[in-house]
Amino acid sequence: MHNPKRHIGFIGLGVMGKPMALNLIKAGYSLVVYDIVQELVQELTKAGAQKADHPAQIGSQSDVIITMLPDSPQVEEVISGKQGILEGAKQGSVIIDMSSIAPMVAIKLSKIAAEKGIKMLDAPVSGGEPKAIDGTLSIMVGGEESVFNAVKDLLLCMGASVMLVGDIGSGNITKLANQIMVAIHLAAMSEAMVFAEKAGVDSEKVFEAIKGGLAGSTVLNAKMPLVLDRNFKPGGPIRMHTKDLINVRDTALEIDAPIPLTTQIMEFMKALKADGKAEDDHGGLIQYHEKLAGVQVKRK
């Protein structure tokens, strides 16, 4: 059973962080929160959280500090920067970074934290805003097993699947592997459906015909109905997926891994960003192929 006496800090109350923090409050944990956007902090204080003025204050008031931030630079600043978590955190406390960042940055930060007697896990998530809201995220964790076991109850308040995959950094390697596969699924769906549309065959019927076979996938089932409705309201925006693929590229350079398909899809996404579609859902990748073909995939 979880320990409601534990003090939890939560930094980063955006699209994903806010519902995750609310789920912890619902589960009976006492939270102290921080975000640069005051309106988001106010929403959480109304729900029962305390507020902090800076990350160091969160560090001093919490046994476990969760961060959910856009990318590596923000995580570095919040953890090890001026008035960062490590300025206030007590020896023996745990930082769980749930952002999607470069694995090498997670490793570097865990070493800095270890010098102060503070443990760290990298625990990025998959599932987007809907699963953050209903607490059914997939959480991929890197770090020491004893630390993971001590906070698993917390993670299960935010996710349906919580898995330790290896040492610190391996959580983000797993997340990046996930993002490679999602990107390639989306590109395959886009190419196939634009091909069918260009041939004059109803793409909705093509989708219905192939979704139960070997080409079927969770990505296809989740994204194709939205494409047919021309609904590109972001669950996961192109901007954020591009950021993940840039982290894949940087990590692949460091470890000498080949990523020819990922590199190509990253360029498709960059083209869409340049076309003003950075905030579209990543299912909107199909618009790249549509533009080349001069067709649009939609319900007839």
Residue 63 neighbours by CB under 8 Å, 6+ apart: 6, 7, 8, 90, 92, 93, 94
Backbone angles phi, psi at 46, to 5 degrees: -65, -30
So what's the pLDDT on residue 52? 98
| CB neighbour list of residue 226: distance below 8 Å, 6 or more residues apart | 232, 281, 283
pLDDT at 128: 87
* CB 283, CB 223: distance < 8 Å: yes
Q: What is the CATH number of domain 174-293?
A: 1.10.1040.10
Domain boundaries, the chain: 7-168, 174-293
Name beta bridge partners: 66.
10, 96
**What's the count of helices (H) and strands (E) in the chain, helices before strands?**
14, 9
Q: What is the model's pLDDT at position 1?
A: 41
The pLDDT assigned to 236 comes to 86
The phi, psi pair for 161, rounded to 5°, reads -125, 120
Cα gap 2→150, rounded to integer Å: 10
Q: Which helix (H) or strand (E) holds 138?
A: strand 137-142
Q: Which pLDDT score is estimated for 2?
A: 52
CATH 3.60.140.10 fits 7-168, yes or no: no
Distance CA 267, CA 283 (A): 15
CB 142 within 8 A of CB 167: yes
Q: pLDDT 10s per residue in the chain (300 long)?
A: 455 568 999 999 999 999 999 999 999 999 999 999 999 999 999 999 999 999 999 999 999 999 999 999 999 999 999 999 999 999 999 999 999 999 999 999 999 999 999 999 999 999 888 899 999 999 999 999 999 999 999 999 999 999 999 999 999 999 999 999 999 999 999 999 999 999 999 999 999 999 999 999 999 999 999 999 999 998 889 999 999 999 999 999 999 999 999 999 999 999 999 999 999 999 999 999 999 999 999 999
**DSSP 8-state symbol, 237:** B
Terminal CA-CA length for the chain? 52
Which amino acid does the sequence have at 86?
A: L
Q: Which residues are catalytic?
A: 175
